[in-house]
Structure 1
Amino acid sequence: MDKEIRTDRIFPLKDATFYPGRDFCDIVYFCPPVEGKKRIWLMTYAKGPVVFIDHNMFKPEKIKKGSFRWIDYGITDVKLAYPRGFGQIKVYGITPQQSFDSYLVITTQTSLELSGSIQDAECILFGISRQNAGYSSINPSTIEAGNPARFTLVYKAGEKGLPRESRIRFNFPRVFARPQTESIKKDGYIRIIYNDCRIYFDGIKVPSDESHRDGDIFYFLPDGLKPFGKIEVEYRTDTTFILPVVCDVMERRYWFSNMPVLSPAVSLDNKKIFVSVSENNGHHIRFIAGKPERLHLFFPGRIRQKDTVNLIGIITDKYRNLVEEKNWKMKINIQLEGNNSKEIKDVSNYLTHRYRFCVDFKGLPAGIYRAKAYDQDTGKLIAVSNPLEIMGKNDKRQEIFWGEIHGHTEMSDGTGKFEGLYTNARNVGCLDFAASADHACYFTDNQWEWMQDITNSFNKNREFCTLIGYEWAGNQGHRNIYTSSRRLKLFRGMYEPTGNLDAVYKEFEGIKNIVAGPHTGHTGDFWRFHNRQVERFLEIYSMWGHFDKLANKILNQGAILGFTGGGDCHSGNVFFSPEDRNGQGKTAHFTSYQIRYKCGITGAFLEDLDRENLIYCLRNRKTYATTGDRILVDFSISQIKMGEIGKVEDVLIKADIHGCDTIKKIEVIRNGKIIKKEYIDKMDVVFNYEDNDIEKGKYWYYLKITQKNKEVAYTSPVWLEI
C-alpha cells in the first residue's frame, strides 16, 4: 500500500492557548514534512492577524469578505515543521473570543480558493466535511481496565452517503490484538456482520502511516453507501488498556491523538485522503478501574525523629488503579512492628478518600519499622509497608527521600491532567519529590508557561519538592532536562535549529542548577553526544526495563553517572503507574505497545527536601534506583560513599540494606563484571566484603540487590583509584 497521510491540515484556534501578558495564541502543528508549495488560510473575524509557523512569518495578502471571512496568507515554498513534522503555530492579533470561531488551514492544494463555512472548506479540500462523514456508535462503550472485549461498531453514512469507489478506515491501538480475518477462534478476529452495500476487506497497516501507536484496517466500497446506510463491524481482542482512560478524539490530528478503537474515517477517491467523523457524531470508550483487590502501604524512607509519622494506605484494583467504588467491605487492622509495636483496628476510621487512609504514629523512637495489614475477619496478611528508618538525634547520616521525575501527561503524548500528576505523586504515590518530563515538541510556548506555574505552585520546601523539567527528543535520542529554578529555557529536538544536543548542552554548560539524563530505551549514541557538565545521571531502570548492561558499557567508556529509577509513565503518574504483577515485561501499557514494565523509583540522599538540594543530589550522584520497592540502602567502599570518587589502599565494601521483602541475593559489580554473589534470606542485612583479587588501577563498583519478590535495587557506583 502507498502511504496515506493527509498533507492538508485544519487547526481550530479554539484549541490554541493564551497566556496573560502575551499577545499571541499558539497551537502545536503536525503535518508530514512535504517539500513544495503550500498555501495558508485563516477563517476569522479578527482584523488582520499575523501568523508564525516556527520562525516563518506570514502576513495577510488578501481578505475574502462574506458571511465567513477568509484571509489568504499566500503561497510559500518554505519548509514547515521540518524535519519531523512537528512545529509551533503562533497567531498575533487575535483575542480569545475571536479564536473560538477561527480556523487555520495549511494546504498543498495551492490552486483552491477557500470560502464559506469550515464545513464548506472541508468539502473543497477533501470532498466531504467531517459533519457529513457519517456517524458511529460502539458497544460496549464502558470496559473494565484489562478485560477482554468484543466490540460491535455501527457506522452510518451521512445525509449524502458515500460515492462509488469510496473507502472506509477503522483504527485500532497496537496494545490491542492485531486484527485478522482468517479464524473466528483466534484473538483479533474482525468481520463485517451487517452491511447495506458491497464491501471488501482491503488490508491492514501496522503501524498506521499517521501513528506508530495505532494500526489501520481498510475496506473498499465499490458501489458506495446510500445516505444513512449502515455497516456493522465486530472485533474481538483479549488485550485492552490496563488503566482508566476516556478515548473520545475522532480525528488523528497528532500521532498520539486519543482515539477510541474502530474510529471511522472515509475517503472518496483514489487519493485516499481520509476524513474522520466529527466528535459530535462519533463514539467514545471509557475504561474504568476494577474491583478493590490490592492494598499498598507507604511509610517515609529514612527520616529524623519527629512527633508524628504517617502511614498511608492506598486501595486499588489488580492493575494498581484507584478504585471507583465508594464502599469496600474488607475490615483492615494495622500492626506496627519495630522498636515500638502498635496495633490499629479498623482503618475505616482513618479514611481521607474512598481509596486512601492515613494513620498517625506518634513519638516513635529511633529504629527500623514496618507496618503489616491484616484482614480483621480471617487474619490473612494483606500487605507489608516499606521499611521506615528513624534516625537518632546524634545520627549524622543524610535522610533518604523517595521520588520519580519522568512522567507524561495530556500536555504531550500521555493522558491525565498535568496538575493531576503532582496531586497523584503527593497524595497517592506518597512521593517526596516529583517532576513531569512532557515532550517539548508536543506543547506550546504558552502551555509551557502554564506548566511551569503549576509545577511551582506544588513546590513546598520540606513537604513536597517539584522540579521544572521536560524531555528533549531530537537527532541524538531523548534527554530529560531539569532545573531548580522557577523557569527553564525550552529547546525542541524536532525543531531544526535545536535538533542536535550540542545546541542544547552549550546553553546549559557550567550552570549548576540544571541537570540532564538520557532516557534509556531512546539513548541514541550516548558516548558520542555525552556532555559531562550537564548529563549526570542514567535511568538504569524504567518502564522500558532494566538497563544495567548499557550502564556497564558506558561506565567502562569513562562515564561518571549516578543511577535513577525512572518511569516514562504516560498515564499522568510518576512512580504509581498501572502494573500487571503477573505480566512484567509482557503486558503493554497505554500509548506505547513497547512499554511493558511498571514504573521505578529513585532514592535520594538529601540534607533537606528542597529544589536546590535535589538538583545537587542528581548532579553529584547521591541517588540510587529500584524497580518500585522502597528498599533502604547505604553503600560505601572504605568510607567512600555512593556516587563518590576516591583513592584507597583496601577495598572494603559495606552495605546496610532494609528490604520490603526478603533479600535473596546481593551482587557486587566491578567494571561491568559480577565479582561476588551472596545469597541471603532475611529482610535486614549488613553486607561486608573485601575485594582482595585486584591490582593497582582505576575501578568502579555498584551493588545489585534482588528480593524474593524479584524487585531490584541498583546503587549508584563508587569510583576508586587503588
Structure 2
Amino acid sequence: MSVYYDDSRDIYIVVPLRDAKSHPSRSSIDLLLPTRSFTGECYLWIYTEAEHPVIKIENETFLPHEVVVRDGRRWLFMGKKYLKLNLASPLVVSFFGLTDPSDDIFLITSNKGFIPRGGLADIERQILGYSRESLGVSQIIPNVTTVGRPVKFKLIFTAGRTGIKRGGRIRLTIPRIFSNPQIKDPDGDGYLRIVKADAQLEIISIEVSRDSWEWVDITAEFKEELKPGGKVIIYYKAERTQIVPFRYERTDRSYWFSKMPPMAISVMPNKRCYFAPLANGYSHTLTFKADIPERLHLIVPSHARTGERIVLHGIFTDKFRNLSDVYPLHTDVRLKLLGRDWEEDLGRPSGFYGRSAFKMLLDPLPEGVYRIRADSSSGRFSSLSNPIKVDNDSSLGLYWGDIHVHSEMSDGIGSPESFYWHARNIACLDFTALTDHACYLTDNEWLWIQDLANMHNKPGEFVTFIGYEWSGKEGDRNFYTWRNELPLFRGTDPKTNSLRKVWRLIEGMEEDVIAIPHHSLSNAKWEYHNPSFERLIEIYSMWGSSETADTKLWRMPRYGISVRQILSTGSKLGFTAGSDNHDGRAGFSGEGAYYTSIYVPLGFRSGLTAVYSNGLSRREIFYSLRRRRCYATTGERIIISFQINDLCMGSEGVWDGSARIRGEVHGTDLISRLELIRNGEVVWSMQPNSMDVAFYWEDYQPPDDLVYYYLRVKQADGNLAWTSPIWLTKMTPESPLL
C-alpha cells in the first residue's frame, strides 16, 4: 500500500487488493484505507477483470462508470466522492463482485485528469516518474541488536539508477520511543551526523512527523547531484531503544502506526517529486532480540481448596520480562515451599513445557497462606511467588486477568494467536480479552477476531471475552460481552461516534454488555455516563493511574477527570486494571525502562484485575465484573479481602449506625501502608510492615447522604492495589431493608 501526497500536490492512494481482508462467511473483501490529512473531491478507480465490481465507502455505493483499456490493461472508473481524511480515522472500504482480487488494484486520487494505465509498477512510475526499485538500497549496522541496550547505528544508503538531483531530499524516520535525534551535541544522547556523502548533503529539519505523532522525521537536502551508485553514511547514537523483541521489515507509511525500521529512508529524487519509501527488499530490516535470562517469575493460583493439588508455573525472562532465545539455560535454582513458620524443599525446577517455562504439580496443602521461593547461589534467579490461600471455602474462587490489550489487528504488534498463547502459558492468566481498536478493524477482521476468541475460550481452564476499544467524542471505552458475538461500533462512524448513539443501539443488552472507560485523566468526558453498562472503570494501566488528579503515576497531559472526581458525582464504579498493551502480551508486559511498550505514552508496567467468582466461565466472570466483585493492582497478585457490615467489595448497603470495616491482605512484598478512602479522603491508615495483615476498624461518622469506601494498598516495592468501593446510603423511612 502506498500514499503519495504533500500540501501542494494531488493525493494518490494505491492499494493492491491482495492486501484486503476476507472471511469465509462473506462474499466481500475489505480493507482499511491508507490515509493522510486531506479534504477534497477524489476519483475512484479499480484495476480488475471482474465484470460488475461494487465498492462501498461510508455507506455509499459505487458502480462502474467507464472502462479504460490501455496496453491490454483494464481499468474501471467507479465515480467520485468528496472525502475528509485524517490520520486517526482511516476509512473502511468494501469490495463486492471480484472474482480473483490477487492482481486487482484500487486507486484513489484527487487528480481529475489522471487516467491510470498498467499494473502496480506501471502506476507507481506514472505517479512518481520512476520506479521505487530505482531509488536505491539501504543497509544498517548492526541489523540485529538486543532490547534495551544502547546502540550506535550506521546507515549506508546507495543511490539507485535514478540518482538524486540537486534540491532532492532524503528523509529518515525514527520511532519516538528511541532517543530524540539531535545534531548539536556529539557527546549527547541521540546524536546524529552525516559521516560521508558523495554529494553535499545538509540536514534541514528534525521534527515530529506530520504522518504520525509516533515518529520523528529527519530531512536532508542535497546541494549537488548524487549520481547513481553514490553513497551516504549516517551515524545515530541511541542510548534509549525499545525493550520489546520485534523484527522491523516493512517500508510503507500507510498508517500512523505502520512499523518501519529505525532510520527507514524515503527519497525525493528532485524538487518536483513526491517522497517515496524504498521498495520492499531494498530497505534494511532491523531485529530486536531479547536479552539473556536474568529473572525467574513464580506464579501459583491465589486460591485453592484443601485437598486440591496446586500448579506452580515458572517463567525465565530477561530483565524486561521477555522470553529469551539465549540457550542453553543453566540454572542453580532450588525451590522451597514457605509456610507461616516452616519451609519444605521442593527440589529443582522440572516439567519444562518450553525452553523458558516449567510447570510443577504440588501436593495438596492444609489451610493457610503459602508462597514458593526460588534460591540461587548466584542470586541471579532468586525470587518469590505470589501468595496462595488454602481453605475450605467452596463458594468463591479468586481469578486474575487482563482485558485491555492490542495486537497487530489494529495499532499494535503480535498476532491474535500468539496473544492467546502468551496470556495462557506465560502470563498464566485465568481470563483475558483482546481489545483492538474498532476504528482500525474491518468487518471481516472483526469476524475473525470473534472466531478466535470463541475458539480459545475453555471454560474451567481459560476464559476469553470478545471485546474492542471504542474511541469517540467522549473519550475511550472498552466494550465486552460474555456471548459469542458483539456488534462492532466505530467511534469514527457518524452513526456511532457518540455514547448517546451507542447507548440507544444496545438498549436492552444490559445483562450482556459492559463498557469500561480507561485512562480517564487523559480524555474522559462524563456527561453521558450510563450506569446500566458502565459498571467499572480502569483505574490503572501502562499509561499510569487515574485515581487522583495529582497522582505521581502519570506522565501525560491531564485533559480528563480522575476516578475520585467521577465517584464524587455519585457514579458507582468498581475498579479494574489492565495493560493497554500494544505488544500483544496480556498481563506480562515489559518493565524496567522509561517506555515499556512500542509507543511513547506507555511508561508503566501492566496492571491486573482480580475477580471473585463462583467459577471460571465467561458467564460467571462477566457476572462478577458486573457486580463489581473485583479489584485492581499494578501487576502484582496481592490477595485482598474487604468487607463493610458483611458487604463485599462492589456492594451497596444502608448505614445502620456504623461502618464495621474488616479485611485481610497478603502481599508479594512487605505491605508498607493500608489506607481507607472515604468519599475521596483518607480516614484511616496503618503501616503493617508485614506481608500478611488482618485489620478491623469502625467508622461512626454518619453519611450526609451517600458514602463510599475503598481500600488502597501500598507495598514496599511501590506496587499498589485498589479494592472496588462499597457504598452506604443514609437510612431514610423509604430505605429498603437489606
SS in 2 for 1:403: strand
Verify the 8 A CA contact 1:540 1:551 in the aligned structure 2: yes
Check if 1:9 corresponds to 2:13: yes
- The amino acid across from 2:473 in the alignment is N
- The amino acid across from 1:264 in the alignment is I
Query: Shift of residue 136 of structure 1?
Result: 1.0
**CA distance in 1 between partners of 2:66 and 2:110 (Å):** 18
Aligned to 1:491: 489
Check if 1:553 corresponds to 2:565: yes
SS in 1 for 2:274: coil
Aligned to 2:197: 195
CA spacing shift, 1:33–1:39, aligned 2, 3 Å: same
- The amino acid across from 2:658 in the alignment is D
| 1:497-553 CA-partner distances (Å, limit 9, x unpaired) | 221122222222331111011121576343212111111111111101111111110
Where does 1:590-669 land on structure 2 (aligned, <5 Å)? 590-648=597-655, 649-669=657-677
- The amino acid across from 2:56 in the alignment is F
**CA distance in 2 between partners of 1:432 and 1:120 (Å):** 53
Which ranges in structure 2 are unaligned for 5 or more consecutive residues?
Answer: 1-5, 549-561, 731-738
- The amino acid across from 1:230 in the alignment is K
SS in 2 for 1:36: strand
Where does 1:175-186 land on structure 2 (aligned, <5 Å)? 175-186=177-188
1:721 to 707, 723, 729: 729
Aligned to 1:342: 344
Verify the 8 A CA contact 1:517 1:535 in the aligned structure 2: yes
Check if 1:589 corresponds to 2:596: yes
Check if 1:64 corresponds to 2:68: yes
Check if 1:579 corresponds to 2:591: yes
Query: Shift of residue 609 of structure 1?
Result: 0.7
SS in 2 for 1:422: helix
SS in 2 for 1:448: helix
Verify the 8 A CA contact 2:519 2:545 in the aligned structure 1: no
- The amino acid across from 1:389 in the alignment is K
**CA distance in 2 between partners of 1:561 and 1:531 (Å):** 11
**CA distance in 2 between partners of 1:50 and 1:444 (Å):** 17
| 1:420-451 CA-partner distances (Å, limit 9, x unpaired) | 11110100000000001100111211111111
- The amino acid across from 1:417 in the alignment is S
Verify the 8 A CA contact 1:162 1:268 in the aligned structure 2: yes
| 1:39-64 CA-partner distances (Å, limit 9, x unpaired) | 11222333342112231222122223
| 1:462-496 CA-partner distances (Å, limit 9, x unpaired) | 10000000001122211100000111100111222
Aligned to 1:41: 45
Verify the 8 A CA contact 2:124 2:130 in the aligned structure 1: yes
SS in 2 for 1:614: helix
- The amino acid across from 1:276 in the alignment is P
**How many residue pairs end up in the alignment?**
709
**CA distance in 2 between partners of 1:147 and 1:4 (Å):** 41
Aligned to 2:211: 210
**CA distance in 1 between partners of 2:361 and 2:8 (Å):** 59
Verify the 8 A CA contact 1:256 1:413 in the aligned structure 2: yes
CA spacing shift, 1:173–1:381, aligned 2, 3 Å: closer
**CA distance in 1 between partners of 2:565 and 2:9 (Å):** 40
Verify the 8 A CA contact 1:647 1:721 in the aligned structure 2: yes
Verify the 8 A CA contact 1:250 1:277 in the aligned structure 2: yes
- The amino acid across from 1:314 in the alignment is I
Verify the 8 A CA contact 1:668 1:677 in the aligned structure 2: yes
Greater CA deviation, 249-258 or 613-622? 613-622
TM-score normalised by the chain length of structure 1: 0.95
2:461 to 463, 476, 484: 463
Query: Shift of residue 304 of structure 1?
Result: 2.9
Where does 1:252-331 land on structure 2 (aligned, <5 Å)? 252-270=253-271, 273-331=274-332
CA spacing shift, 1:8–1:305, aligned 2, 3 Å: farther
**CA distance in 1 between partners of 2:569 and 2:245 (Å):** 43
2:697 to 663, 667, 689: 689
Verify the 8 A CA contact 1:134 1:277 in the aligned structure 2: yes
| 1:131-157 CA-partner distances (Å, limit 9, x unpaired) | 222211111111100111111111122
| 1:324-368 CA-partner distances (Å, limit 9, x unpaired) | 123211121111122795322221x32111000111112222321
CA spacing shift, 1:423–1:149, aligned 2, 3 Å: same
- The amino acid across from 2:563 in the alignment is A
CA spacing shift, 1:41–1:134, aligned 2, 3 Å: farther
Aligned to 1:367: 368
SS in 1 for 2:22: coil
- The amino acid across from 1:386 in the alignment is N
Check if 1:476 corresponds to 2:477: no
Verify the 8 A CA contact 2:707 2:728 in the aligned structure 1: yes
**CA distance in 1 between partners of 2:122 and 2:252 (Å):** 18
CA spacing shift, 1:108–1:35, aligned 2, 3 Å: same
Query: Shift of residue 397 of structure 1?
Result: 4.8
SS in 2 for 1:406: coil
**CA distance in 1 between partners of 2:395 and 2:684 (Å):** 27
SS in 2 for 1:624: strand
- The amino acid across from 1:287 in the alignment is F
**CA distance in 1 between partners of 2:677 and 2:570 (Å):** 16
TM-score normalised by the chain length of structure 2: 0.93
SS in 1 for 2:46: strand
SS in 2 for 1:135: strand
CA spacing shift, 1:7–1:673, aligned 2, 3 Å: farther
Query: Shift of residue 77 of structure 1?
Result: 3.5
SS in 1 for 2:455: helix
Verify the 8 A CA contact 2:589 2:606 in the aligned structure 1: yes
Greater CA deviation, 297-306 or 473-482? 297-306
Greater CA deviation, 39-48 or 640-649? 39-48
Query: Shift of residue 676 of structure 1?
Result: 1.5
**CA distance in 1 between partners of 2:294 and 2:462 (Å):** 29
Verify the 8 A CA contact 2:453 2:464 in the aligned structure 1: yes
- The amino acid across from 1:343 in the alignment is D
SS in 1 for 2:491: coil
Percent identity reads 35
SS in 2 for 1:100: helix
Query: Shift of residue 181 of structure 1?
Result: 0.9
Which ranges in structure 1 are unaligned for 5 or more consecutive residues?
Answer: none
- The amino acid across from 1:39 in the alignment is Y
CA spacing shift, 1:378–1:595, aligned 2, 3 Å: closer
Verify the 8 A CA contact 1:33 1:84 in the aligned structure 2: no
- The amino acid across from 2:599 in the alignment is S
SS in 2 for 1:680: coil
**CA distance in 2 between partners of 1:164 and 1:70 (Å):** 38
Aligned to 2:3: none
